[in-house]
């Protein structure tokens, strides 16, 4: 990290835990064999550690190893889940064409949904309530015999709100509708058992929970039919062709293990720091919190600031703070999440997402408050 810059953008990505790096090390060089090469001992050794890792990750989610498919990350897992369900429906001659999601979903969900909407499917994009939570009555009204899939993320990547997954799952079950959940911001940070919650498909990514980039997974409930999106081999039950990245899989398993071990204590500590930062923000005046205070991720705080221009705000902040104005995938556009909550484009641009992590300290929060205070004094005078 650049000298003098305090990193508060852990929802964008997290550093790879040193223990994860250590666990991966031998699988890059000494034990480098392809796990699909089953005719020699090195290949069998690689295959064995992949299976051990799969079993460990699945177990943390209350699943069996057979219910977990490795992908390059949550974006690919989302595409496999959404397009895979749709194409499987077409392949078997089914007639369900309605897809439902929230307007505040990540683009890795919205874009595949919109792609399918251009290929004969109907997309219903529900507006959230002002606090970012889904309106369950609105969802129930949108469900119909034509509905194939509902996709609602567990924890929003910008405002941190936690959706009522079990209630959504129950509504989907009543209509025999599949329920997909983007869990990229939740796995490793919240207790999450997809089958218990009625989730049929759960996507997540390693780099959001102190694991390596380039690895993630899709949990698939028994009986769910998917069409593969990547062809060229029989890996991953024929759903995702390609040589498995053994070091990354080992790293993901270690990251999940470590995240589950400190999840509760970490959440309590970071919630305390987050609340202290919010108190400091409130004292500055002209600041609104975006999204529900509860239920919310313990390490998320998203605010909109009155009386400043967004570009000037972030140009000033980035000299000292690594923070975000929205999703890391938004290419600088004002947040579609905040606009869906009723913020104007200017208000969305003048918003800041603080996200805390394992290394965050009281000193980091104090510095963030000081930097924000000085920045607002300067910009509000201009």
pLDDT digit string, tens, across residues 125-158: 999 999 999 999 999 999 999 999 999 999 999 9
Closest listed residue to residue 131, CA positions, set 338, 325, 347, 351: 338
Distance CA 57, CA 133 (A): 29
In this predicted structure, what is the pLDDT of residue 330? 53
Residue 72 has which token pair?
């390059």
The mean pLDDT value for 10-16 works out to 98
- Name the residue ranges covered by the structural domains of the chain: 6-14+262-381, 18-258
Active-site option among 71, 172, 281, 329: 329
| Residue 368's pLDDT band (cuts 50, 70, 90) | very high
What pLDDT band is residue 17 in, cutting at 50, 70 and 90? very high
For the stretch 55-73, pLDDT in tens is 999 999 999 999 999 999 9
Region of residue 242 (phi > 0: left; psi between -120 and 50: alpha; otherwise: beta): left
The average pLDDT across 85-111 equals 98
- The hierarchical CATH code for the domain 18-258 is 3.40.640.10
User: Residue 15, Cβ neighbours under 10 Å: how many?
Assistant: 15
Q: Which spans in the chain are helix H?
A: 18-24, 41-60, 74-91, 107-117, 136-142, 165-174, 194-197, 246-284, 310-317, 336-340, 345-349, 362-381
Domain 6-14+262-381 CATH (choose: 3.50.50.100, 3.40.50.2300, 3.40.50.300, 3.90.1150.10): 3.90.1150.10
Report the distance separating Cα 53 and Cα 37, nearest Å: 18
Query: What is the Cα–Cα distance from 315 to 319, expressed in whole angstroms?
Result: 7
pLDDT for the residue 109: 98
What is the pTM for the complete model shown? 0.96
- pLDDT-derived band at 334 (thresholds 50, 70, 90) equals confident
329 is catalytic: yes
HSE of 138, CA atoms in CB hemisphere, 13 A: 13
Confidence (pLDDT) at 381: 85
Could you give the angle at which helices 74-91 and 107-117 cross, rounded to 10 degrees?
20
Give me the mean pLDDT over the 211-222 stretch.
98
Report DSSP state, residue 238. G
> What mean pLDDT comes out for the span 245-265?
98
Please confirm whether the linkage preceding 295 is cis (ω < 30° from 0). Answer: yes
pLDDT at 329: 53
Inform me whether the pLDDT recorded for 332 exceeds 70: no
State percent of the chain over pLDDT 70.
97
CA separation for the pair 304, 354 (Å, rounded): 11
**Residue 177 pLDDT level (bands cut at 50, 70, 90):** very high
According to the model, what pLDDT value does residue 325 have?
83
Average pLDDT over every residue of 85-100: 98
Encoded tokens for 356: 């805390």
Provide φ and ψ at 289, rounded to 5°.
-90, 135
């Amino acid at each position: 990290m650049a000298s003098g810059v305090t990193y508060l953008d852990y929802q964008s990505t997290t550093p790879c835990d040193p223990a994860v790096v250590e666990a991966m090390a031998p699988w890059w060089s000494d034990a480098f064999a392809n796990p699909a090469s089953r005719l020699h001992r090195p290949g069998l050794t690689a295959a064995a550690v992949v299976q051990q890792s799969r079993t460990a990750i699945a177990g943390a989610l209350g699943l069996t190893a057979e219910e977990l498919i490795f992908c390059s990350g949550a974006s690919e897992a989302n595409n496999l889940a959404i397009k895979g369900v749709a194409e499987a429906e077409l392949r078997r001659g089914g007639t369900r064409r309605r897809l439902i999601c929230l307007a505040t979903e990540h683009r890795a969900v919205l874009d595949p949904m919109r792609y399918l909407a251009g290929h004969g499917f109907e997309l219903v994009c529900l507006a959230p309530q002002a606090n970012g939570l889904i309106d369950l009555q609105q969802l129930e009204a949108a469900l119909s015999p034509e509905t194939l899939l509902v996709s609602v993320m567990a924890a929003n990547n910008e405002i941190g709100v936690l959706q009522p997954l079990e209630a959504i799952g129950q509504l989907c079950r009543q209509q025999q509708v599949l329920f997909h959940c983007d869990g990229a911001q939740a796995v490793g940070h919240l207790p999450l058992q997809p089958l218990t919650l009625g989730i049929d498909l759960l996507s997540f990514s390693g780099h959001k929970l102190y694991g390596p980039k380039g690895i993630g997974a899709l949990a698939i409930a028994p009986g769910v039919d998917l069409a593969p999106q990547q062809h060229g081999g029989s890996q991953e039950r024929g759903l995702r062709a390609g040589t498995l990245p053994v070091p990354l899989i080992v790293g993901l398993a270690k990251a999940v293990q470590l995240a589950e071990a400190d999840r509760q204590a970490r959440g309590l500590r970071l919630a305390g720091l987050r609340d202290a930062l919010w108190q400091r923000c409130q004292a500055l005046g002209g600041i609104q919190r975006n999204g529900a205070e509860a239920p919310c991720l313990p390490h998320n705080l998203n605010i909109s600031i009155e009386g400043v221009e967004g570009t000037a705000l972030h140009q000033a902040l980035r000299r000292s703070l690594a923070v975000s104005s929205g999703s890391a995938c938004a290419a600088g556009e004002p947040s579609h999440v905040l606009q869906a909550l009723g913020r104007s484009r200017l208000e969305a641009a003048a918003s800041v997402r603080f996200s805390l992590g394992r290394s965050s300290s009281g000193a980091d929060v104090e510095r963030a408050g000081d930097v924000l205070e000085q920045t607002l004094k300067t910009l509000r005078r201009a």
